[in-house]
């Protein structure tokens, strides 16, 4: 499939690796950075279409918010594991769940005024119902070449996801240009989607990045 991801905010918190590992399926191991697991909350706007077909009115464009961590699968292959992906289009949710990707149907809004972006979602199905996210950030100046650290790239430059189909880990590849990351300041935040995923409420301030967007190619599932 061909995606367009726009107005992304990356929010990341450190966690005890044992807490995150307890929520992962067999065959996947939490990936750590300097001894800590990291969990991300990533709201953005999605446009999705099949190759060679233009986006469909209404159906192809919607907000999405995912809760994710980073894992190592069979053969030492690293990637993203999604605890949940909230989206406002039920057909997209059902299509994702057919691949055992944890999509949830939610009421969602995304608004932008200048550099201030606000994301709101309330879960409809499946549970826990009314799991909520409110995130408001102000995007700042772009990072200059060479300013981003290895850790910044480790958190955001991910090109593979893992799911489990018929009890076996399966990966899907994503191809896109490097993120053009900007600084960002959190103005409001409700982390209800983290606790809905079974994670403890974070106490630290998140590490935050913003990206205006890019086009993404998504490959077929592969064992």
Q: Which of 2, 137, 130, 120 is nearest to 61 (CA)?
A: 2
For residue 68, the cross-strand partners are: 40, 82
pLDDT band at 127 (very low <50, low <70, confident <90, very high): confident
Classify 152 as helix, strand or coil. Answer: helix
pTM of the model: 0.96
As a whole number, the mean pLDDT across the chain is 96
pLDDT in tens, 160-177: 999 999 999 999 999 999
Return the H-helix or E-strand segment holding 123: strand 116-125
Average pLDDT over residues 44-68: 95
Torsion of CA 49, 5, 129, 89, to 10 degrees: -20
Q: Where are the domains of the chain?
A: 2-218
Fold classified for 2-218: Acetoacetate decarboxylase-like (2.40.400)
| Mean pLDDT for the stretch of residues 107-120 | 98
Q: Report the half-sphere exposure of 145 (CA within 13 A, side-chain side).
A: 0
Cβ neighbours around 111 below 10 Å, total: 12
The CB density around residue 153, as the number of other CB atoms within 10 Å, is 13
Q: Within the chain, what is the greatest distance between any pair of CA atoms?
A: 46
132/41 Cα distance (integer angstroms): 12
For range 94-119, the mean pLDDT: 96
């Amino acid at each position: 499939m061909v995606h367009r991801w726009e107005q992304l905010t990356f929010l990341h918190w450190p966690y005890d690796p044992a807490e995150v590992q307890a929520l992962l399926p067999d065959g996947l191991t939490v990936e750590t950075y300097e001894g800590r697991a990291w969990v991300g909350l990533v709201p953005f706007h999605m446009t999705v279409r099949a190759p060679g077909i233009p986006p469909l009115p209404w159906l192809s464009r919607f907000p999405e918010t995912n809760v994710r961590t980073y894992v190592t699968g069979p053969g030492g292959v690293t990637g993203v594991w999604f605890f949940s992906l909230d989206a406002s289009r039920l057909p997209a949710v059902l299509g994702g769940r057919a691949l055992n990707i944890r999509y949830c149907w939610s009421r969602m809004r995304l608004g932008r005024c200048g550099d201030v972006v606000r994301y709101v979602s309330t879960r409809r199905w499946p549970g826990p119902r009314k799991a909520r996210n409110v995130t408001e950030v102000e995007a700042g100046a772009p990072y200059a070449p060479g300013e981003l650290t290895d850790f910044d790239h480790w958190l955001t430059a991910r090109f593979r996801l893992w799911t489990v189909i018929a009890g076996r880990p399966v990966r899907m590849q994503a191809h896109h240009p490097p993120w053009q990351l900007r600084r960002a300041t959190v103005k409001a935040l409700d982390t209800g989607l983290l606790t809905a995923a079974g994670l403890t409420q974070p106490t630290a301030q998140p590490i935050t990045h913003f990206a205006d967007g890019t086009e993404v190619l998504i490959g077929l599932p592969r064992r």
